[in-house]
Amino acid sequence: MSGHVFVVGADLTRLSCDDVLVPTDRSLRVTRSWRSLLPAELITEERDDGDCVGLSWSGDERVLEVPGDGARRAWLVDTVDDRGRGLPWLLEGAREALAAVARREVTRPVHGRARRLVGLPALGTGWGGAAGARGALLQQLLPVLRQAAEEHGFDVALVLRGPSDLAAAQRVRRGEDGGWDLPGHLRELAEQMGERARRGQLALFIGAGVSAAAGLPTWEQLVDELAARSGLDDGLREGLSRLPAQDSAALLARELGTEKLEAFVEERFGPGPYALAHALIAALPVQEFVTTNYDPLVELAAADIGREVRVLPYDEAEPGSPWLLKLHGDAAHPESVVLTREEYLQSGSTGAALAGVLHSLLLTRHVLFVGTSMLDDDLIRIAHQVRTALQQGPGTARRTGTVLALRDDPARARLWERDVETVAMGPADACPAEAARRLEVLLDLIGCLSTPPTGYLLDPAYRGMLDAEERALAEALGRVAESLPAGISSEAGAEVASLLRRLGHGGTAADGDTAPVDVATRDRDDRPQEQRPG
């Protein structure tokens, strides 16, 4: 079965995957940003221009498997073209690396994913020599990756970090139909959600299913983990399964004590590798996110592509900045976590204030629900209150969102049909892992269709992708950029500078002389922040 090629903004060292391709040269030098992927004992020398790895090439091979016993395997790939062999040589290195990866048997992909996931950067765009020809590289690399995914059956994540790199890659995919294996109704849904996102009309609700793909527990699994720490006898632990989850949590909280419970939550749901879905969600041009999750993985994924997400109610919301509302608390503030039934009942005015934010989104945006079973008591109450409000006037009843469910559940869809449309990734008997993977592919398509197509216009590394009209416009805007004084102080000047950054000005080191090997820039995300009523 064919794999899929994802294009995602992320930090490849923190993206949860099975295999990672790490750029190097014939001296086995790697930049320090890749060090966390390599065993410390393999680093033989630390230098300003890169650290040396204690392995050796065998003949003319270009791929080396890094020894290790962890779930994630790193592969060193020679990408530095010091002989002027050009893009064909780089592309052949990508083919060889992916073929070598395929020869390593992986029986259980990371965190139960349906397919093995292989991550790589845009090879050769640092010291490799292709920094000034990123457009040509993406146009030729993406078909190579799709061919490898089709041949070997695994999924590939092309990981980019610069806004202009992401915008250019998405344009290439839109022009070539990037291989999204989705039925017609899901493609139509992706077009609708992409259009809503571009217009500022989309908000996201993120449930526990998204973080489960990063190895974090669902509610039921969390109760099991707490029970294992509680010291309860087998009879009581067996009885927990017959209680509602919130009541089970209440009993376990009593046994563990507040201090131990908070310490567990802070540790278990703290910073760590994020899943592909986190990165796909964080890159969407959406400004308003809501979650019942305790972990920081969405905001970490967003920070890795230059998006500064404000976490409510702990941070102060800032005009123009995206925000994430945590309805049930944050692991960084373990005393805020809502876990037991008593905590749900005692949330009182604080919970009402937070719920009011979701009320507002349901009334003024279209909310896309991802990774939630729609069984949370707070969510049910909020939906009922919004439905009641919409029924106050004639003809105002409408659906306020879309739920992306893994499997078809006609009863649950019927239950929620007055509030939201439920779209299943597969039939009722579908494999959950395959359904979750289809959801990732859908999010990938939504991201592609919603990415502004102008983010690389002023980036000289992508000049070759522009048509005649775009080149003329880029030259005119380039003169504007050159005329801006250093240290702009006026509001008008700052606004123009922000616009130019959104169009890719200053986006990459086009000549490649000072760029670290294959690591894209991490410029501030200056995408338009305005919002329009839904």
Q: In the 3-class helix/strand/coil scheme, how is 235-302 assigned residue by residue?
A: HHHHHHCCCCHHHHHHHHHHHHCHHHHHHHHHHHCCCCCECHHHHHHHCCCCCEEEECCCCCHHHHHH
Contacts of 75 (CB under 8 A, 6+ apart): 19, 20, 21, 22, 63, 64, 65, 66, 97, 100, 101
- Tokens 């002989």 locate to 83
Among the listed residues 161, 159, 89, 170, the one whose alpha carbon sits nearest the alpha carbon of residue 135: 170
Structure token digits, residue 288: 């308003």
| pTM, 2 dp | 0.90
Count the Cβ atoms, other than its own, within 10 Å of residue 320. Answer: 12
pLDDT < 50: residue spans in the chain:
509-523, 525-534
pLDDT digits (tens, 9 = 90+) for 341-352: 888 777 666 778
Max CA distance (Å), the chain? 77
Count the Cβ atoms, other than its own, within 10 Å of residue 87. Answer: 17
Assess contact for 26 and 298: CB atoms under 8 A.
Answer: no
- Tell me, what's the pLDDT at 513? 35
Assess contact for 126 and 512: CB atoms under 8 A.
Answer: yes
- Tell me, what's the pLDDT at 322? 95
Among the listed residues 296, 284, 428, 429, the one whose alpha carbon sits nearest the alpha carbon of residue 370: 284
Contacts of 234 (CB under 8 A, 6+ apart): none
Contacts of 262 (CB under 8 A, 6+ apart): 334, 335, 337
Taking the C-alpha atoms of residue 344 and residue 377, their distance in angstroms, rounded to an integer, is 9
Helix axes 258-268, 245-256, angle to 10 degrees: 120
Structure token digits, residue 286: 């959406």
- Tell me, what's the pLDDT at 408? 93
C-alpha count within 13 angstroms, C-beta hemisphere, residue 434 = 11
Taking the C-alpha atoms of residue 191 and residue 366, their distance in angstroms, rounded to an integer, is 14
What values do phi and psi take at 421, rounded to 5?
Answer: -90, 130
Count the Cβ atoms, other than its own, within 10 Å of residue 317. Answer: 14
Taking the C-alpha atoms of residue 121 and residue 518, their distance in angstroms, rounded to an integer, is 6
- Tell me, what's the pLDDT at 507? 64
